[in-house]
């Protein structure tokens, strides 16, 4: 948790050990880095375990911290085959925290590694305070909110975080500099489905950075400028942010160290000289020179979206500095040396409140030229390439003595080794006995399979009911209450289950129904259940007394059995199978009542940015579908979802696996499900007839990841 001496933490990235050293030299209070497994930057240099342990010790010598990124979704075999063994030596070495996205990883670390701080990644899409209730059950000590939050949103999280936890408020960490994703983190499948590389698995191909065509104009529609928050740094600290995170594990040492050095300076200015805080133009130019993606933006802290956040086509990387411009940091130590003829040389090294004593070779009586105080002081103070420098040297020596320089060097080396061991020993741990393997829930054998449908319009709902579906999910993010009540009546008359689908991103204050002022209207629907897209929605509904069925959508990721168990332990009744797992991986998921998507025009991303606002005009409050063209001349449909002020961008072709009957039988889900966006009622009937008949798809389609999955 917090370093007592810090009012704010400068958190820097490192993609290699050399970069780690560079950002520490540049003033980072903490460094986040990935090992060779499970990190969200699979193509960064990353650091092997030997180097990680070396980095942990090095950081602790200077009272700095190291956070390990395990911020991807893990498959069953990855947890079973190596997660414990991967973290164990780092835990024992004193690793300060692990950054996680996966609920299974979160529980696994909490169960197996007590005392190791857990940081909830921005990939969890934390936007509302209710999420904190869930995370606190697993001893999460820090949250990294969605980057789309405003300063006032963050302040609400801070105020709520102060009221929960076991005596210590949950910390808040926010990005302050570097690349911005166009999509809400954790809500993007664009690279996965268009580029074949999953962002949820640390392999984002940056597909959103490409040019797309809208209104016959080609431009980087989905590429944001880089974040730079120097101008509003005092406001970010005032909002309650403790850790100031710099993005850039894929970037060079010169970039990481250069940016860290600038933010170190301005954070110190904020804390020590607030009344005179001013950002110099030359420092902004310096940051631009390190990396330029077509300008900089202070992001969502002071706006919800805007055209001025979109990058131009200019992109270059260059620097007028190197990481070597920052001198190696040194730890100040005091030396006390005692030299008495006929006795071993004795040395005491102290750094702060830590001290060690070592002895060396026997001091001799000089037979010729005795050693001088100056010579001995000079020799014993040579700490060279070590982490230390002598700030005082007190030598107590007899006259007429001699000790070889080699012996003094060996004494000094022994002292350095002992002091380093003493400093780092305070962080070391002994791992408890491993928690027995999680066996998962016993899978059910289902006597029949139900058909569920997700609809956006009244007409789609009526068509689905006419086709005899068993359950209707109403997309609340686009439909008004009058239409939902009409559909509810249709469902009652036809004895069709009625579920309300929660928004893909839970943000209060955007005219959604998941707010305190709409509780009575929500209850008037008498919904049989809710489809949950964000854990905070579930916590919100349960807190307000909605005692009904709860189904987790595929973005409430149950990528492994432990994650599925977390959801079931917290009261979920059903879980939608993640759309990035292949049929073999799905078969080994232990979900008693699972739902399998068999038809959907997959939402590739959900974004606070609005294509219509950026390239046409805002048409709130009326939602509208639009489209743009990708580099392969495919048309991507998007919904400007005005009630919640975000866009949903869909794949150009639907995913269809309803005809893979034998494989679906082998998986044995309780529900198979179809999701519709702008299909007509006629299309809904045609598609559902094909699904029920297990017929081949018509027209262009994709199997998604059902066959191959993601790496």
**pLDDT per position as a tens digit, 213-266:** 998 889 999 999 999 999 999 999 999 999 999 998 889 999 999 999 999 999
Q: What is the mean pLDDT of residues 477-483?
A: 92
CA separation for the pair 570, 654 (Å, rounded): 33
Any residues with CB less than 8 A from the CB of 56 and at least 6 apart, and which?
66, 90, 93, 94, 95, 96, 424, 427
Confidence of residue 1 (pLDDT cuts 50, 70, 90): very low
- Strand ranges of the sheet holding 388-397, from the earlier edge strand across to the other edge: 354-362, 344-351, 331-339, 388-397
3-state helix, strand, coil in the chain (%, to 5): 35, 25, 45
User: Three-class SS string for 620-655?
Assistant: CCCCEEEEEECCCCCEEEEEEECCCCEEEEECCCCE
Q: What is the mean pLDDT of residues 672-686?
A: 97
Residue 379's nearest CA partner among 406, 340, 348 is 406
Q: What is the mean pLDDT of residues 415-429?
A: 97
Q: List Cα–Cα distances, 400 to 332, 336, 408, in angstroms.
A: 31, 19, 17
CA separation for the pair 420, 411 (Å, rounded): 14
Residue 442 pLDDT > 70, yes or no? yes
Residue 624 pLDDT > 60, yes or no? yes
Residue 701 pLDDT > 50, yes or no? yes
If one counts every other C-beta atom within 10 angstroms of the C-beta of residue 155, the result is: 16
- What kind and span of H or E run contains 427? none
Q: What is the mean pLDDT of residues 644-671?
A: 96
Residue 206's nearest CA partner among 108, 311, 285, 68 is 311
Residue 474 pLDDT > 70, yes or no? yes
CA separation for the pair 285, 175 (Å, rounded): 20
In this structure, the strands spanning 401-402 and 364-365 are antiparallel
pLDDT in tens, 26-73: 999 999 999 877 755 555 567 899 999 999 999 999 999 999 999 999
Confidence of residue 437 (pLDDT cuts 50, 70, 90): confident
Q: What is the mean pLDDT of residues 567-592?
A: 96
The whole-number pLDDT of residue 292 equals 86
Q: What is the mean pLDDT of residues 697-701?
A: 93
Phi-psi region of 206 (alpha: psi -120 to 50; beta: other; left: phi over 0): left
The whole-number pLDDT of residue 4 equals 41
CA separation for the pair 346, 338 (Å, rounded): 5
Is residue 366 classed as helix, strand or coil in its secondary structure?
coil
Residue 522 pLDDT > 60, yes or no? yes
Confidence of residue 2 (pLDDT cuts 50, 70, 90): very low
Is residue 26 classed as helix, strand or coil in its secondary structure?
coil
Residue 314 pLDDT > 60, yes or no? no
* Domains defined along the chain, listed by start: 9-180+225-320 (3.20.20.70), 331-425 (no CATH), 450-602+654-693 (3.20.20.70)
Alpha carbon 193 to chain centroid, angstroms: 20
């Amino acid at each position: 948790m917090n370093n007592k001496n810090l009012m704010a933490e400068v958190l820097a990235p490192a993609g290699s050990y050399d970069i780690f050293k560079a950002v520490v030299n540049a003033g980072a209070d903490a460094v986040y880095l990935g090992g060779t497994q499970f990190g969200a930057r699979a193509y960064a240099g990353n650091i092997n375990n030997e180097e990680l342990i070396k980095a942990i010790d090095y950081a602790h010598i200077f009272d700095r911290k190291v956070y390990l990124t395990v911020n991807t979704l893990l498959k069953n075999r990855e947890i079973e085959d190596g997660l414990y063994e991967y973290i164990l030596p780092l835990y024992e070495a004193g690793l300060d925290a692990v950054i996680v996205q996966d609920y299974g990883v979160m529980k696994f670390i909490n169960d197996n590694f007590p005392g190791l701080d857990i940081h909830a990644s921005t990939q969890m899409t934390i936007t509302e305070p209710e999420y904190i209730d869930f995370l606190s059950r697993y001893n999460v000590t820090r949250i990294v909110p969605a980057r789309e939050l405003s300063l006032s949103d963050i302040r609400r999280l801070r105020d709520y975080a102060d009221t929960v936890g076991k005596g210590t408020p949950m910390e808040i960490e926010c990005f302050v500099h570097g690349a911005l994703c166009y999509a809400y983190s954790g809500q993007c499948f664009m690279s996965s489905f268009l580029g074949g590389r999953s962002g949820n698995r640390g392999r984002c191909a940056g597909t959103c950075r490409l040019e797309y065509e809208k209104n016959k104009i080609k431009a980087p529609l989905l590429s944001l400028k880089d974040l730079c928050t120097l101008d509003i740094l005092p406001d970010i600290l005032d909002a309650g942010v403790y850790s100031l995170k710099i993005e850039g594990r894929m970037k060079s040492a010169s970039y990481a160290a250069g940016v860290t050095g600038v933010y170190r300076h301005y954070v110190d200015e904020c804390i020590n000289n607030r009344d005179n805080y001013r950002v110099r133009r030359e420092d902004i130019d310096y940051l631009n020179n390190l990396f330029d993606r077509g300008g900089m933006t202070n992001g969502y802290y002071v706006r919800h979206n805007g055209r001025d956040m979109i990058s131009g086509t200019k992109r270059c990387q260059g620097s007028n500095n190197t990481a070597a411009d920052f001198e190696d940091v040194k730890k100040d130590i005091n030396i006390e040396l005692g030299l008495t003829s006929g006795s071993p040389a004795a040395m005491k090294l102290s750094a702060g409140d830590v001290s060690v004593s070592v002895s060396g070779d026997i001091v001799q009586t000089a037979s010729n030229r005795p050693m001088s105080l100056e010579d001995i002081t000079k020799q014993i103070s040579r700490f060279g390439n070590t982490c230390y420098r002598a700030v005082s040297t007190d030598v107590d020596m007899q006259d007429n003595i001699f000790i070889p320089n080699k012996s003094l060097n060996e004494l000094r080396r022994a002292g350095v080794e002992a002091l380093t061991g003493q400093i780092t020993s305070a962080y070391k741990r002994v791992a408890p006995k491993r928690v027995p393997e999680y066996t998962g829930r016993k899978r059910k054998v289902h006597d029949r399979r139900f058909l569920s449908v997700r609809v956006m319009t009244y007409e789609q709902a009526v068509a689905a009911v006419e086709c005899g579906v068993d359950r209707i999910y109403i997309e609340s993010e686009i439909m008004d209450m009058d239409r939902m009540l009409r559909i509810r009546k249709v469902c009652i008359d036809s004895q069709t289950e009625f579920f309300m689908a929660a928004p893909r991103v839970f943000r209060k204050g955007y005219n959604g129904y998941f707010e305190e002022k709409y509780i009575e209207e929500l209850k008037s629907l008498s919904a049989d259940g809710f489809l949950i897209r964000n854990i905070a929605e579930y916590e919100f509904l349960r807190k307000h007394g909605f005692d009904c069925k709860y189904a987790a959508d595929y973005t409430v990721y149950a990528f492994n059995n432990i994650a599925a168990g977390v959801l079931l332990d917290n009261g979920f009744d059903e879980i939608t199978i993640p759309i990035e797992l292949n049929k073999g991986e799905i078969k080994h998921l232990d979900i008693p009542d699972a739902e399998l998507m068999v038809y959907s025009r997959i939402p590739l991303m959900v974004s606070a940015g609005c294509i219509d606002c950026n390239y046409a005009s805002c048409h709130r409050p009326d939602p509208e579908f639009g489209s743009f063209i990708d580099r392969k001349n495919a048309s991507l449909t998007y919904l400007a979802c005005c009630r919640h002020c975000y866009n949903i961008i869909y794949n150009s072709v639907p995913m269809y696996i309803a005809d893979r009957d034998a494989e679906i039988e082998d998986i044995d889900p309780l529900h198979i499900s179809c999701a519709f966006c702008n299909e007509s009622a006629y299309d809904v009937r045609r598609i559902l007839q094909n699904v029920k008949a297990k017929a081949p798809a018509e027209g262009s389609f994709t199997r998604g990841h059902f066959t191959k999955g993601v790496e």
